[in-house]
Copies of this chain bind each other. A is one copy, B any other.
Amino acid sequence: MRFAFTDDQVAFRDAVRDLLAKECPPEVVRAAWPEGEVPGGAKPGEGARADADRLDAVWRALADMGVLGIAVAEEHGGLGMDELNWVLIAEETGYAALPHPFVETVCVAAPLLGRADLADGSATATVQPGRDEPVPWASADVLLAIDRDAWTLTVHDEWEADAVASVDGARQLASVRASGGEEVGGAALAFDRGALGTAAQLVGLGRRMLDLTVAYVVERKQFGVQIGSFQAVKHHLADAALDLTFAAPAVHRAAWSLATASPDASRDVSMAKAMASDAAHRAGRAALQCHGAIGYTVEYDLHLYVERAAALSRAWGTAAWHRGRVGRALEI
């Protein structure tokens, strides 16, 4: 019995963390948002603070580090590693709100398709996690369409995509129509990997929102004192930390269950996704509330993470959907 990651896994995580801190600051996330007008109105200030040149660079840097191929088989140029080796990295991509299809490409498509171009960063994949659901990262090269009722998975190289405005402008959401394609096996495993990667990102997002808020309430004064000294603020943030502290082990365990092909893997993934969705949601609410009006503006960075968390908490199955799957596994 040992519930901890190896030193190598932690070191790889730390390296990715450092890379993303440097290469994927908020202005890179902003660069993925559409310029100028969005359907709801103007986005002033976005353009000025966005750094478009670096948007592709971060993905290339991840490729160079070997991160993109972590789950690609070695014969296709990857590292051939399992979920335990990428779950912490997925968490970091959530912390950074990485505006690229990490979960879809690295966690789902790469181990399934075994394509070298996914490992070296020259191609990306996206996933439709359920029939008729919207698809993010619409400019990807390959689409995996999962049917969560029939548990089938179809690989499409071509499809039609109509852009859909997302609450998270970086996600490049689309409504897709695809016909033909190649049906391959492993739909349930692919879905579980995607849900796990998304759960890990939600934990990372929750931590980012909590960190931003802690920094803000220590800095900001009202009524002559730091607002972080108010008990109500302390308790909001302690509650956010509470849920994240207990969601994270659930996510890590789910990675172990997938890596060891445990018969409980789907249950464990669903527990992870349900808890991570709720924890990120609570962290987002606490973050906004403790920031006050500034958190509600697009000039401040918080919204980049709040909107991502809102999107991911309902993508790959809502918390309630996943609890339903846990309940069935418990035979209740």
Contacts and interface: CB of A to CB of B under 8 A. Distances in A.
A230 B231 CA distance: 8
Q: How many copies does the complex hold?
A: 2
A234 to B, nearest CB: 9
5 contacts: A230-B231, A231-B231, A231-B232, A232-B232, A232-B235
A226 to B, nearest CB: 14
A231 B234 CA distance: 10
Interface string A24-58: 00000000000000000000000000000000000
Interface size class of A (residues with CB under 8 A): under 10
A77 B183 CA distance: 82
A42 to B, nearest CB: 37
Nearest to A231: B231
A311 to B, nearest CB: 27
Interface string A220-236: 00000000001110010
Contacts of A231: 230-232
Interface in A230-288: 230-232, 235
Nearest to A230: B231
A231 B232 CA distance: 6
Interface string A67-111: 000000000000000000000000000000000000000000000
A171 B278 CA distance: 40
A304 to B, nearest CB: 30
A56 to B, nearest CB: 48
Interface in A196-225: none
Nearest to A232: B231
A37 B305 CA distance: 59
Contacts of A230: 231
A231 B227 CA distance: 13
A107 to B, nearest CB: 38
Contacts of A235: 232
A231 to B, nearest CB: 4
Contacts of A232: 231-232, 235
A59 to B, nearest CB: 45
Residue of A230, A231, A235 most packed against chain B (CB within 10 A): A231
A88 to B, nearest CB: 35
A230 B235 CA distance: 12
A225 to B, nearest CB: 12
A285 to B, nearest CB: 15
A231 B230 CA distance: 8
Interface string A106-129: 000000000000000000000000
A200 B116 CA distance: 70
A137 B230 CA distance: 48
